[in-house]
Amino acid sequence: MKFIILFDNIPLVMKKSVYKLFFIFLTAAFFSQSCAEGEKEYHKADFALGTVCSVKIYTNKGGREVEKIFGKVFSELNRLEEIFSANSGHSVLQNVNDNAGKKSVEVPAELYSLLERAVYFAQKTDSAFNPAIGAVVKLWNIGMENPSVPTEENLKKALKKIDYKKIELKNGSVFLTEEGMQLDLGGIAKGYAADCIKTILLGEGIERGIIDLGGNVCTIGLKQDGSPWRVGIRNPVIGNDRSSAAYLEVSDKTVVTSGDYERFFEKDGKIYHHILSSKTGYPAENDLRAVTIVADTSADADALSTSFFVLGLEKSLQLIKSFPGVSAAFFMKDNSVTLAGKKLEVFKILDDKLFIRDNLMQ
Ligand code: FAD
Ligand code: MG
């Protein structure tokens, strides 16, 4: 067995500390299994989409061929960033935002269809998931440089600019009908990117692998011995970064978690995290600490994990009924875990403090 790690192209501007990134990198490798004769395990991690993106594949292709495949994968991530980023001055999304209240912008088909999907989730969740939340996200700037608690006045102004119903999608073009509106697809585009990478790998004949885009995990096929992949869920308790809270086993599924520990800052002893309520403009506050979704597509799982995190447990338990095939684990602040949706064969708690309160999976 050969295990190579290619870790290059680290940009100078890193948003997370090297320590944290290195930790995530190790975590991603933690559950790796040795592969059987003939196949080798290859792993590449790099920074993209503001996070560490790690891809592990198992193949009997040669090293050069694998390097080409990894090249395609990471160019794809850069390409997607050029379209979907709300943080770069020159993405297609930014162009749509810059033209808010002015004119309609023709966009690539994949941005158009991801926006349609995002609007679908906004409708399903009564704006709990909101792709037009950009004005409020920018005001807080959580996870970026100099986050701050906005003034009530600024928040009030920004809240007037986040009505997703004012996203006009027509004939391949997008128009934000009010000046100052800003799209933000941070809650769904990482998932979409994971789906794109999976498609590339399948197209290259890769039958086994794991994609991890900063916690958006996508699995391909089964392990060589025919058993499912084991995916660890990061401990949602802030300060417990080093441990896994639980693991589950899946094949050909995606596992996506949203939590208040992912990006946050502290001010006057209070923690402010990055998943915001369209109603208040403040970080969504309920009894949830994190939500993990298992589904077929990572874009949907990403949107659902963000949606459920904002909605809270009770509303999410209602909503999940309209998503057959989706499983969810709700990690609550009181350390209880509720499981709902489609039954998972294996879900195991690893942290002694956590306990399963309800298993509603069917
Ligand atoms: P999720 O729960 O999946 O999503 C939370 C994110 O969604 C928030 O950060 C915000 O962007 C948005 N959001 C907040 N509230 C809501 C809501 N109610 N409804 C819908 N969406 C909401 N990070 C960097 O630091 N630097 C970068 O240059 C950078 N570039 C990126 C480019 C792309 C194309 C993408 C997809 C992400 C990028 N990111 C970057 C990361 C991004 O800013 C988010 O932090 C990240 O997507 C959050 O993922 P999550 O899984 O932690 O949380
Ligand atoms: Mg999400």
Arithmetic mean of pLDDT, 230-256:
88
Task: Report the C-alpha gap between 283 and 289 in whole angstroms.
Answer: 12
Question: Two tokens at 28?
Answer: 């991603």
What is the reported pLDDT for 198? 98
How far, in Å, from the CA of 87 to the mean position of ligand 1? 9
Tell whether the model's pLDDT for residue 21 goes beyond 80. Answer: no
* pLDDT bracket for residue 37 (50, 70, 90): low
User: What is the mean predicted confidence (pLDDT) over 33-37?
Assistant: 52
What is the Å distance from ligand 2's center to 58 Cα? 28
Over residues 300-316, the pLDDT tens digits come to: 999 999 999 999 999 99
**Spatial distance between the Cα atoms of 313 and 303, rounded to a whole number of angstroms:** 16
- Residue identifier of the C-alpha nearest atom 50 of ligand 1: 258
CA-CA distance, 104 to 96, in Å (whole number)? 8
Residues within 5 Å of ion ligand 2 by Cβ?
Answer: 187, 258, 302, 305-306
Q: What is the DSSP string of 170-193?
A: ETTEEEE-STT-B---TTTHHHHH
The residue contributing the CA closest to ligand 1 atom 46 is: 186
Average model confidence (pLDDT) for the chain?
90
Which residue in this structure is represented by tokens 């000046």?
179
In angstroms, the CA 184 to CA 118 distance is 10
Listed residue (54, 30, 33, 50) closest to 242, CA to CA: 30
The three-class DSSP label of residue 82 is helix
Exposure class string for 322-354: b at 16+ Cβ within 10 A, else e: ebeebbbbbbbeebebbbbbbebeebebebeeb
Give Cα 90 distance to the centre of its chain.
22
* Residue 307 to residue 316: CA distance in whole angstroms: 8
Q: Closest ligand to 129 CA? A: 1
257 CA from centroid of ligand 2 (Å): 7
Give the residue, out of 196, 263, 273, 277, with the most ligand 1 atoms within 8 A of its beta carbon, to mutate for a pocket test.
263
From ligand 2's centre to the CA of 18, what distance in Å? 23
How many CA atoms lie less than 13 Å away from 193 in the CB half-sphere?
35
Place of tokens 């790099």: 46
Q: Which of 78, 97, 90, 171 is nearest to 137 (CA)?
A: 97
Q: State the average pLDDT over residues 122-141.
A: 97
Q: What is the DSSP letter of 104?
A: -
C-alpha span between 336 and 289 (Å, rounded): 10
**Inter-CA distances, 187 with 193, 257, 303, Å:** 12, 11, 6
* Ligand 2 center–CA 307 separation, angstroms: 7
Q: Which of these ranges, 11-25, 94-108, 136-150, has the smallest mean pLDDT?
A: 11-25
Q: What angle do CA 319, 321, 326 make, to 5 degrees?
A: 95
Ligand 1 site residues, Cβ closer than 6 angstroms: 15, 49-50, 80-81, 84-85, 87, 129-130, 133, 137, 143-144, 184, 186-187, 189-190, 215, 258, 262-263, 274-276, 278, 302, 305-306, 310
pLDDT higher than threshold 90 for residue 323? yes
| Helices (H), ranges, 218-319 | 298-311, 313-319
Q: What SS3 class is residue 54?
A: strand
